[in-house]
Structure 1
Amino acid sequence: MAATSVPAPVTTGPLAAFVRFVVCGGGVGLLSSGALLLVSGHAPIALANAVVTVVSTLLATELHGRFTFRAGHARLADHLKSGLTATICYLFTTGALLALHAVHPNPGPLLEQSVYLSASGLAGIGRFVVLKVMVFATGTKTAAGTRPVGRKALLTRRAVTVAA
C-alpha cells in the first residue's frame, strides 16, 4: 500500500513571515497599551512610556527571532539592531505628524490618526524588511553578516535530503 502525503500548510516564505510579524507585533502593541495604562498611574507618563517601549521592543524582538523569522533566540546584536529600527520608526511617525501639523495646524482626530496609522504601516513594512534581511537573515554560510542556520532548519534539510 502506497503512502500518501498530505501537503503541509504554507507557513514559510515572506508572506507567512509578514503575517507572523503583524500578529506578534500587534499582540505586543496591545499588551504594551495595557501596560502603559497600568504603569502610568505610578510614574510620570514619559518615564512609563520609555519603560514600556524598551520592554516591549525586547519582547517583540525575541518573538520575531523565534516565531516570525524562525531564526532562534535573539542575540544581543539582534536586540540592538531591532531597537535601532524601532527608533527609526518612531522618528518616521513623529516626522509625519509634525509635517501634518505644519501643513494643517488644527487637524481633526480622524485625519491625525489616518496620518499616524499610514506612517506606522509604512514604517512597519520597512521594519519587517530590515529585520528579515539584516537582523534575522538565515543562510547556510556563517560568513560575516549572515546568521547560521538554526538546528531545527538544519535537521529539516537533512531529513528532506535523506528522504529524497
Structure 2
Amino acid sequence: MKTTQSRQQATPSAYIAFARFTLLGGTVGLASSLTVAAVATQIPWGLANALVTILSTLLATELHARFSFGAGGHATWRQHTQSAGSAAAAFALTCTATLALHQLVATPDAMLQQTVYLAASALAGVARFAVLRLVVFARSHTQTPTTSPTSHRTHTGPTDTLATVPTGPATLCQAA
C-alpha cells in the first residue's frame, strides 16, 4: 500500500509530463539524427536509420516511463510494444502529410515542405503524448489493482478478519 501511495504521489501533472515528454523526446530525437549521420558513414544509411530508430525508441520509452509519466521504474515489454506502435503511427502521419503535399503542390519549395512536416510532426507528437499518458503508462495498467480498495468484515469463526477487496477500473483492466 505504501508503494502504491508513493507511486500515486510521483505521478506528474499533465503539464509537467508534457514538458518532460517534449524535452526528453526532443533530446533523444536530436541525438538520434546525429547518430544516424555518424553510423551511416560505416553502414548503409537505411540500415543505420533503422537501427538508430529502434534503439532511440527503446531509450525514449524508458525515459518516458521513468521521468515523463512517473511509472515507477523500467518500462515493460507491453509498454515498449505499445510505444513502438504509437511511434510507427506518428511516422505514418508525417509520411502521409508529406505525400499529400506532393499530390497537392507539383513542386513545393523547401520552406513549405518543412512547414508541413513540422506541423504533422507536432500533431503526431501531441497525439503520441496522449496515447502514452492515457494508454501506455496509464495508472490502471501499471499498478496492481489496489487503486481503490474497499474493506469488508468477514466472519471466519471466533475472530473477524478485515479483507481488502479491490474495486474500480483497475480491477476491470486486470481481468482484460
TM-score for the superposition, normalised by structure 2: 0.74
Partner of 1:160: none
Structure 2, unaligned stretches of length 5 or more?
Answer: 1-10, 141-146, 149-169
Identity between Structure 1 and Structure 2 (%): 47
Partner of 2:157: none
Distance 1:137 1:37, change over 3 A: same
Following superposition of structure 1 onto structure 2, how do residues 29-44 of structure 1 map, counting pairs within 5 Å?
29-44=29-44
Native 8 Å contact 2:98 2:116 kept in 1: yes
Distance 1:14 1:105, change over 3 A: same
Partner of 2:19: 19
Aligned pairs, number: 136
Question: Is the strand fraction higher in 1 or 2?
Answer: 2
Write the deviation string for residues 41-69 of structure 1: whole angstroms up to 9, x where unpaired: 01111111100100000000000000000
Partner of 1:143: 171
Structure 1, unaligned stretches of length 5 or more?
Answer: 1-10, 147-164
Partner of 1:6: none
Q: Secondary structure at the match of 1:118?
A: helix
Distance 1:18 1:47, change over 3 A: same
Task: Give the Cα separation in 1 of the matches to 2:172 and 2:54.
Answer: 28
Task: Give the Cα separation in 1 of the matches to 2:173 and 2:38.
Answer: 40
Q: Secondary structure at the match of 1:143?
A: helix
The CA RMSD over aligned residues, in Å, is: 1.4
Write the deviation string for residues 57-83 of structure 1: whole angstroms up to 9, x where unpaired: 000000000000000210000000000
TM-score for the superposition, normalised by structure 1: 0.79
Partner of 1:57: 57
Task: Give the Cα separation in 2 of the matches to 1:105 and 1:17.
Answer: 40
Shift of 1:144: 4.9
* Runs of 4+ deviating beyond 6 Å: none
